[in-house]
Structure 1
Amino acid sequence: MRARGVRLLVLTLLVAIGACGSPASATVAYGGIRDQSAAAFVAADLGGFTAEAGLTWSPTWATSGTVILQGLVSGDFDVATLGPAQLYGALRNGACARVLRPTQGAAYGVVARPGLRLDTTRPYPGVLTQLRGKTVGVPARGAAQELVLRSLLTDAGLNPDTDVTWVAIGAGPAAVTAFTSGQVDAAMSYPQLEMNLRAGFDKLVDLAGPESPLGAFWQSVAVANCDWADKNHETVLKLCHALNQGFQELARNPDAGPRAFVHLGLAPDLDQARTVWQKHRYPVVTVPPLTEENWDHQAKFAAGATAPDFSEHVVDGCATA
């Protein structure tokens, strides 16, 4: 009996020692919207890259960038995806955040109700002069979409404050209803809105890709809470490495994007997701790189003349981890 007890004690000690030597999985609380901006995070998780890094990715899905920003700054989220315009405004107002890398290039568009019979063949920026006197829908007043479209309307010689009427139409089903019912004449579109509208719109300007009027535009960037990032630098770089692997998976694996879209609820099944992915993959797999020049470029579409200091807010080495 004594020998058996000794063996059990030794076994218990060995198990305990083994557990102490095994790295514990670090949970990363993420805040985002179920759209393309999260595709690489999902691809990293489904591909096992976050697990290989010893991380557990724990997403919370929201419908408002304001809610996500508040959660990030308060520490409810360790990491989130935000539009640069909203992020730059928050940084200028004293908020603290650490930028990891851009997660999506330009995927916007400007669409109008087909019943208006606007001329979609006119070149940019003149095509937008047809919006004079029209109502324009955006998810929320002051949101990134409005800030971007204000810049485009200014390029067209319009006064964004007096020549159009802005209407907050929300996102998802509410935005679709507002557009199809005629509550607004035009809207700043994004892939999910166009998917739900299907062919029921005229596209005045296609803003997808770096060759569009937006240039090297980031529609979203991955951002970390300051306190979490500063205290967990090694974990941050592990997450960056997993996220970069997720982007590589989206580019090389034909089914990685469709699987991510199904997981995000952007398509009901893999077959339909493949079609949607082929149409909307470009801004996700071709993201303008994180450089100081591109960082400064985003300020053109934000409320403010200059970008926040690049070296102060960007995590060095994340984009190449």
Structure 2
Amino acid sequence: MTGTGSGVRRVVVLVMVLLLSWTAGCGGSGESRTPAVSFGGVRDQGSSGYAVAELKGFFTQQGLTVSPTWATSGTVLMQGVASGDFDVANLGPAQLYEAIRNGACARVLRPTQGAAYGVIAQTGLGLDTTLPYPRVLTQLRGRTVGVAARGAAQELVLRSLLTEAGLDPDTDVTWVAIGGGAAAVSAFAAGQVDAAMSYPQLEVNLRATGAAFDKLVDLAGANSPLGEFWQSVAVANCEWADDHPDLVMKFCHALNQGVRALEQQPDAGPQAFAHLGLGSNPGQARSLWDRYKTPVVEVPPLTEENWRHQTMFTPHGTAPAFSEYVVDGCSTA
């Protein structure tokens, strides 16, 4: 009898363990009931909408946990979203179009930033910043030009501008990958390049270190030479987006709330900048927001016309099929 009783007890314990495991796997804990979305981005103003959605609890309200990974170039982000390392990433459309043309797959959710680029040069070169565009860029003939990564969005856009200025981007300039963040600041400040494609984060950090530069072209806003340009768009891994349409719409709704808050709530932008490390203190973050907010609060809409406009900055001048690669209803969720 003793052997039989212990055997029954072992069976009962085993059944209880299996039941507990099954219950946990089906959402028995609060953590497992909250879907986690992996996000890849760069700590710049293009990520402001995501930052606000996180800070103000919009993702949490949708039952989502968003886990960010911060990178320094669109190349890393494109590889991550294509491979499935990221469910969602923030990157440049020109680079995205070329990746899709070469066989990658990604679903576009919405644009997250308008044009915020610029072209800067070393002050010691004595270039004439008063010349009109595109003539001002002819002064880059024979110069070294820094971009975050070769073949990424910055280079693709600047190549189109140099071509418009009558330069051959393959022979008239020498391209140098200078990375992002502190690496880009160090490279420019040390004179490793004559000019560079700039963005607010780079300019702010250069000024913080006392490094001077001349602004050859200001490309911020829809009235710049870039027009209705999207500097970044939110894109999703194809498999994740296709298999989880409800999660995608929840993510889109929260992100859209974040973008609207940037437009409507005076504190949202400065808080986002501070959260992203743009500014060494809240006061500086607010000052930077006042200076660089335009591309974030005036994002050109997601339309087929603007979708085609981005092809001006791609090597082949073609766009993927709008209906195939854009998630319908996300931008208005």
TM-score after normalising by structure 1: 0.91
Aligned length: 304
Decide whether the 8 Å contact of 2:75 with 2:149 is kept in 1: no
Partner of 1:15: none
Structure 2 CA distance for partners of 1:49 and 1:21, relative to 1, 3 Å:
closer
1:119-160 Cα distance to aligned partner (Å, 9 max, x none): 111111111111111111111111111111111111111111
Where does structure 1 differ by over 4 angstroms across 4 or more consecutive aligned residues? 18-23
Is 1:257–2:256 an aligned residue pair?
A: no
Partner of 1:147: 156
Which stretch of structure 1 is more off in the superposition, 171-180 or 22-31? 22-31
Written as runs of structure 1 = structure 2, the 5 A alignment for 1:1-321 is: 24-198=33-207, 200-321=212-333
Runs of 5+ in structure 1 lacking a partner?
Answer: 1-17
Secondary structure at the aligned position of 1:319 is classed as helix
Residue identity over aligned pairs, in percent, reads 70
Runs of 5+ in structure 2 lacking a partner?
Answer: 1-26
RMSD: 1.8
Q: CA offset at residue 303 of structure 1?
A: 2.2
Q: Which protein has the larger Cα radius of gyration, Structure 1 or Structure 2?
A: 2
Decide whether the 8 Å contact of 2:73 with 2:152 is kept in 1: no
Q: What letter corresponds to residue 255 of structure 2 in structure 1?
A: L
Q: CA offset at residue 219 of structure 1?
A: 0.6
Q: What letter corresponds to residue 253 of structure 2 in structure 1?
A: H
Decide whether the 8 Å contact of 1:25 with 1:54 is kept in 2: yes
Which stretch of structure 1 is more off in the superposition, 157-166 or 218-227? 157-166
Partner of 1:3: none
Tell me, in whole angstroms, the C-alpha distance in 1 between the residues paired with 2:32 and 2:186.
50
Decide whether the 8 Å contact of 1:23 with 1:54 is kept in 2: no
Q: CA offset at residue 64 of structure 1?
A: 2.5
Partner of 1:10: none
Decide whether the 8 Å contact of 2:91 with 2:232 is kept in 1: yes
Q: What letter corresponds to residue 226 of structure 1 in structure 2?
A: C
Q: CA offset at residue 192 of structure 1?
A: 0.5
Q: What letter corresponds to residue 91 of structure 1 in structure 2?
A: I
Tell me, in whole angstroms, the C-alpha distance in 2 between the residues paired with 1:195 and 1:262.
13
1:65-92 Cα distance to aligned partner (Å, 9 max, x none): 2222222112121111111111111111
TM-score after normalising by structure 2: 0.88
